[in-house]
């Protein structure tokens, strides 16, 4: 699959229309990241133009995050975010969370909601087990592929 110009322009429009700063997509060995040009901030972040990055045959690594702090030992299978959005632990602010550490879940159970572009997306567990760690807080912005929780 080749990323067509009109497809890239549609992605750039999604960024502009929804207040996003970045979209990253992978399709097999191809990947594309589109970033919105941000105003300079006091901590000297370099602005990045809205343009596709070069398509690479190697997957992107996230070693910068790992080098900042030692990760605690994790057990179980990670439930990751399939999209960029906002994490919500419950269906409404006054509702009980879908799961907490120690909760038992079955495959197909809703474990959280991710709001993306004003749509609420239910995230379901792919396996049965016990929630051993929740890695994000209610209302946190999350990235594609970010670990939300672990089920053992």
Encode pLDDT of 5-55 as tens digits: 777 777 777 777 777 777 777 766 677 777 776 555 444 444 444 444 444
What's the total number of domains in the chain?
2
Residues 145 and 78 in one domain: yes
Residues 17 and 77 in one domain: no
Within-domain flag for 65 = no
Within-domain flag for 18 = yes
Task: Compute the distance between CA of residue 81 and CA of residue 141 in angstroms, rounded to an integer.
Answer: 11
DSSP string, 90-146: SSSTTSPPS--TT-EE-TT-EEEEEEETTEEEEEE-SS-EEEEEE-S-TT-EE-TT-
Residues 87 and 138 in one domain: yes
Residues 43 and 112 in one domain: no
Residues 55 and 86 in one domain: no
Residues 42 and 85 in one domain: no
Residues 84 and 143 in one domain: yes
Residues 51 and 96 in one domain: no
pLDDT, tens digit (0-9, with 9 covering 90-100), for 103-121: 999 999 999 999 998 889 9
pLDDT, tens digit (0-9, with 9 covering 90-100), for 127-137: 999 999 999 99
Instruction: Count CA atoms closer than 13 A to 21's CA, side-chain side.
Output: 8
**What predicted TM-score, i.e. pTM, was given to this entire model?**
0.52
Q: Which domain holds residue 22?
A: 5-60
Within-domain flag for 114 = yes
Local structure of 18: helix, strand or coil: helix
Residues 6+ apart with CB under 8 A from 47: 37, 38, 39, 40
Domain containing residue 146: CATH number? 2.40.50.100
Within-domain flag for 13 = yes
Residues 142 and 82 in one domain: yes
Within-domain flag for 66 = no
């Amino acid at each position: 699959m080749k990323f067509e110009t009109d497809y890239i322009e549609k992605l750039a429009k999604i960024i502009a229309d929804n207040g996003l700063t970045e979209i990253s997509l992978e399709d097999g060995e191809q990947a594309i990241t589109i970033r919105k040009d941000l105003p300079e901030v006091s901590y000297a972040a370099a602005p990045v133009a809205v343009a596709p990055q070069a398509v690479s045959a190697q997957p992107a690594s996230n070693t910068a995050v790992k080098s900042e702090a030692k990760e605690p030992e994790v057990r179980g299978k990670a439930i990751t975010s399939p999209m960029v959005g906002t994490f919500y632990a419950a269906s409404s602010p006054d509702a009980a969370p879908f799961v907490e550490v120690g909760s038992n879940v079955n495959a197909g159970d809703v474990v959280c909601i991710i709001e993306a572009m004003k749509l609420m997306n239910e995230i379901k567990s792919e396996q049965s087990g016990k929630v051993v760690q929740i890695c994000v807080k209610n209302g946190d912005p999350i990235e594609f592929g970010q670990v939300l929780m672990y089920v053992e």
